[in-house]
Amino acid sequence: MSQINTTSPESENLRLLKQALESYDAKSIAKHLDKISPGRWTSELVKRCAAGKLPPEFSDKEYRHLQKLLPEAPPVDRKYDFDFIDLFAGIGGIRKGFEQAGGRCVLTSEWNPFAVRTYKANHYSDERFHKFYEDIREVTRSNTDDTEEEAYEHIRRTVPDHEVLLAGFPCQPFSIAGVSKKNSLGRKHGFECDTQGTLFFDVARIIKAKLPVAFVLENVKNLKSHDKGKTFEVIMAALDELGYWVADADAGGSPDPKIIDGARFVPQHRERIVLVGFRKDLGVHEGFTLKDIKYPDEKPTLGDILETDPDPLYTLTPKLWEYLFNYSIKHKAKGNGFGYGLVGPGDVTRTLSARYHKDGSEILVDRGFDPALGLHHDQNMKNRPRRLTPLECARLMGFEKPGEKKFNIPVSDTQAYRQFGNSVVVPVFEAVARLMRERVIRGKNILREKQEEQGRLAA
């Protein structure tokens, strides 16, 4: 038996256990610890320790092994070029890209409890400077009867200062925006009126209150045409009203620099609109365009990200494979493009969707299917295609690179598929962050100089 951990007191053991329980259930933690101390840990024991009924006593090995379930703290002497906040964070794809470009996350907002579990299992958050909120409306007070003045004062007090605001906000039509009593009294104007009742409203409020150097807003490609173009028009008008210049705002048609395909970075077609904005008054935006994004000379192939020995449970059942096969034939006969997407090591996949857990039809890994032999041939039934594993989805989205620590997946396969299908291609946003970095730092320095000048004048 390894020596009981004496370097970490009971309170530290309990802290680690509770932190692990924010992402993993008691059964998973007990199973993980059982690899070090077979037969010692059970889910019931984990629960009793977490509830304070028993002191959690970890051996040194157990303590270190439990730490592996959680993100590693960065070096204490790590320097950051800028701070950012991560709104509608999902599982942290945009955050990861901006961290890799030298940024530090100081606030996160995400409401989905399963996404929060995955986020906390993979992104280190130092309580000394990082805040975590589930509902962004807790920050913006948009779900209260606070006056505008009270709401903005709360945002200024609550949200840490930052240079970049990141938000992958949901796409909602402003035509259904709610009209509050305040609006009817004539207190609201501009974006406060036009975007009220949507979650973009909350993003805009934070921008107005904190005035970051820049922002990055991410959404589906069809944002431009959503609600007959009204949604995009209102968003752009609001950002202009807030005093921000948006990169490539007037670009239309194809190609549009604001529409970035993840296939330039990973073997997956995934087009998303990326709105990059800078404060006009700082003058750091001149000449910036997303046309200048640096694409990698080489990217991983699908073969690079596939597991060598995936669990057989990801292979389609004969019944599901037959259904998808016949469904495809039926729709092709009608001239439709519906059907499965069979891919091999050198292919680029279709877009991974949040519904992938249902049948996996958009991306099926070929295991040797030969259409010349017929569907029910013994060889074809033996070599039925399979879904991607959750780990392969993590790699397809760029959350994990060769040689890196594995991306932790503390949730069920169904939830994992939904999370990756709703996320972003990480290296896309690393490239965006690197393109913005020098201008963000310049804007940060300009603001610092202005503050110092104001301080000297006040003195």
Q: How far apart are CA 91 and CA 117, in angstroms?
A: 8
244/290 same-domain check = yes
Contact indicator for 104, 166 with CB cutoff of 8 Å: no
In a domain, 222, yes or no: yes
286/309 same-domain check = no
Instruction: Say whether pLDDT at 184 is over 50.
Output: no
φ/ψ of residue 104, rounded to 5 = -125, 130
206/278 same-domain check = yes
Q: Which of 49, 171, 193, 393 is catalytic?
A: 171
Give the domain extent around 33.
10-67
200/269 same-domain check = yes
How big is the chain, counted in residues? 459
pLDDT for position 186: 47
Q: How many CB atoms lie within 10 A of CB 75?
A: 7
Q: How many CB atoms lie within 10 A of CB 327?
A: 15
Instruction: Answer yes or no: 193 catalytic.
Output: no
Instruction: Enter the DSSP assignment of 175.
Output: G
In a domain, 76, yes or no: no
Structure-token pair, residue 33? 């610890």
Q: Which CATH number belongs to the domain containing residue 58 in this structure? A: 1.10.260
* SS3 sequence of 239-293: HHHCCEEECCCCCCCCCCCCEEEHHHCCCECCEEEEEEEEEHHHCCCCCCCHHHC
In a domain, 2, yes or no: no
Q: What percent of the chain has pLDDT over 90?
A: 76
In a domain, 289, yes or no: yes
Q: Which CATH number belongs to the domain containing residue 410 in this structure? A: 3.90.120.30
In a domain, 3, yes or no: no
Lowest mean pLDDT among 56-60, 63-67, 333-337, 362-366: 333-337
In a domain, 75, yes or no: no
14/161 same-domain check = no
pLDDT band at 48, cuts 50/70/90?
Answer: very high
289/348 same-domain check = no
Residue of 39, 116, 29, 98 whose CA lies nearest to 66? 29
Q: What's the pTM value of the predicted model, to 2 decimals?
A: 0.91
pLDDT tens string 192-235: 776 766 789 999 999 999 999 999 999 998 888 888 888 899 89
pLDDT tens string 68-108: 999 998 888 899 999 999 999 999 999 999 999 999 999 99
366/227 same-domain check = no
Give me the number of domains the chain comprises.
3
283/407 same-domain check = no
In a domain, 326, yes or no: yes
138/56 same-domain check = no
Q: How far apart are CA 128 and CA 194, in angstroms?
A: 37
